[in-house]
Structure 1
Amino acid sequence: MSTSNGNSYDSVKRGLDAFIALLGLVLCSPLLAAVALLVAVKLGRPVLFMQVRPGLNGRVFKLYKFRTMKNVDVEGGLVTDSQRLTQFGAALRATSLDELPTLVNVVKGDMSMVGPRPLLVRYLSRYSPEQARRHEVRPGITGLAQANGRNALTWDEKFALDIQYVDGRSLAVDAGILRDTIRTLIRRDGINADGQATMNEFEGPATNATQDQLSH
């Protein structure tokens, strides 16, 4: 992507992101309120899961999502993700309703509708130079990895798709990813890694580990 074309694309995309996210927040406000109430009743407070994540050029921001897990309770045996994840929380993840507050991040400019998913800050030092290129663009609510397997993919597969997006991004590509993401959500494909409540930890390129990305 040339510099001039890239700047034009980025400007148009930012405007579209803000418009779509604002429209989504307005249209989904009754749903947001209903989910917040259910989270408060079933999981307790706080209703939102907030965590610092790296964004464009590795700059950190605070990510907003609905909680899907109970608080850690060592005495009660609630320690691991699988122990803390409730049936209600799993349903939120399966439908991606837990992602609705992330629209606020898009409005603020922390994120885009489409881009590599924002991972954990501690992963920054573990990326290879090629993998680190995923931070050349704003992170997204959805991306190529989410439209093509989600958590069923290995880390290597995810990062390869991230870099493919960075090098070939366009409005047409973004539209295709949004379309394919909706299809994936309807089919509920790749919600969890095989045998995992969420994902395994990314240890670095040498380990070829498969995943943990959003532990809440």
Structure 2
Amino acid sequence: MTMSKGLRAQRAIKRGVDIAAATAGLVALSPVLGATALAVRLSMGSPILFRQQRPGLGGQPFDMLKFRTMLPVDPARGLTDDASRLTRVGAFLRSTSLDELPELINVLRGDMSLVGPRPLLMAYLDRYTPRQARRHEVRPGITGLAQVSGRNGLSWEERFELDVRYVDSWSLLADAKILLDTVLVVLKREGINAEGQATMSEFTG
């Protein structure tokens, strides 16, 4: 389907806002980024950043950046699952979403947007239904409709339906509302974990 001129213009504005906001955010939050990096270094050692390939626009892989929140797998120390590997500092970073701040670099690079479906694992690509795979028709985001509608407290099916709804009804106004709602969600610290999980259960299709 050919994109209309109006939609192309909105997409260009969205990208411009992403670049401006990511640049301003990295500068304004540099003290927070520095303090968080130091906390990770002192509590978990190196590396400070967690890098992992995630699918972006069109399912193309990119290296997503986050602050580390977990220790490496170490069966000898009983560090075998997410619950045992998640540190106190890591749990705090996740609950406050501070671990997501390095993704502003991904936004600046064009890998991600401020708002869009969250980038998941490359292994999930072959598990999506054709409808679920439509979440890759737009750039993934630091926050999204699913994140302000329940975050990790939602089932996978609910999350994907919200992702497709976002793709189908996207607008600059909708993005602005999601960003405002994100502030409230972060302050409330709701939906950080799936029920009975330290993070989110695996999507098996």
Q: Which TM-score applies when normalising by structure 2?
A: 0.98
Distance in 2 separating the partners of 1:6 and 1:130: 22
**Residue 93 in 1 paired to residue 94 in 2?**
yes
Kindly tell me the number of residue pairs found equivalent between the two proteins: 204
What letter corresponds to residue 170 of structure 2 in structure 1?
Answer: R
What letter corresponds to residue 4 of structure 2 in structure 1?
Answer: T
1:187 alignment counterpart:
188
Distance in 2 separating the partners of 1:146 and 1:83: 25
How far off its partner does 1:105 sit? 0.1
1:211 alignment counterpart:
none
Larger displacement relative to structure 2 (1-10 or 192-201):
1-10
What letter corresponds to residue 157 of structure 2 in structure 1?
Answer: D
Which runs of at least 4 in structure 1 moved beyond 3 Å after TM superposition? Answer: none
How far off its partner does 1:86 sit? 1.3
**Residue 150 in 1 paired to residue 174 in 2?**
no
1:39 alignment counterpart:
40
Aligned 1:157-172 pairs, distance under 5 A: 157-172=158-173
How far off its partner does 1:5 sit? 2.4
Deviations 1:117-160 (A, max 9, x none): 00000100000000000000000000001011100000000000
How far off its partner does 1:48 sit? 0.2
2:61 alignment counterpart:
60
How far off its partner does 1:74 sit? 1.1
**Residue 106 in 1 paired to residue 107 in 2?**
yes
Distance in 2 separating the partners of 1:108 and 1:137: 15
Look up the SS of the partner of 1:195 in the other structure: coil
2:85 alignment counterpart:
84
How far off its partner does 1:9 sit? 1.1
Distance in 2 separating the partners of 1:3 and 1:189: 38
Deviations 1:171-214 (A, max 9, x none): 1000000011111111111000001001111001xxxxxxxxxx
Distance in 1 separating the partners of 2:87 and 2:69: 7
How far off its partner does 1:87 sit? 1.5
How far off its partner does 1:4 sit? 2.1
2:127 alignment counterpart:
126
How far off its partner does 1:2 sit? 5.4
1:48 alignment counterpart:
49
What letter corresponds to residue 151 of structure 1 in structure 2?
Answer: N
Contact 2:39 2:89 in 1 (8 A): no
Distance in 2 separating the partners of 1:156 and 1:79: 27
Look up the SS of the partner of 1:65 in the other structure: strand
Distance in 1 separating the partners of 2:129 and 2:149: 22
2:13 alignment counterpart:
12
Distance in 2 separating the partners of 1:193 and 1:65: 20
What letter corresponds to residue 198 of structure 1 in structure 2?
Answer: T
Distance in 2 separating the partners of 1:2 and 1:100: 32
1:213 alignment counterpart:
none
Look up the SS of the partner of 2:119 in the other structure: coil
Q: Quote the RMSD (CA, aligned, Å).
A: 1.0
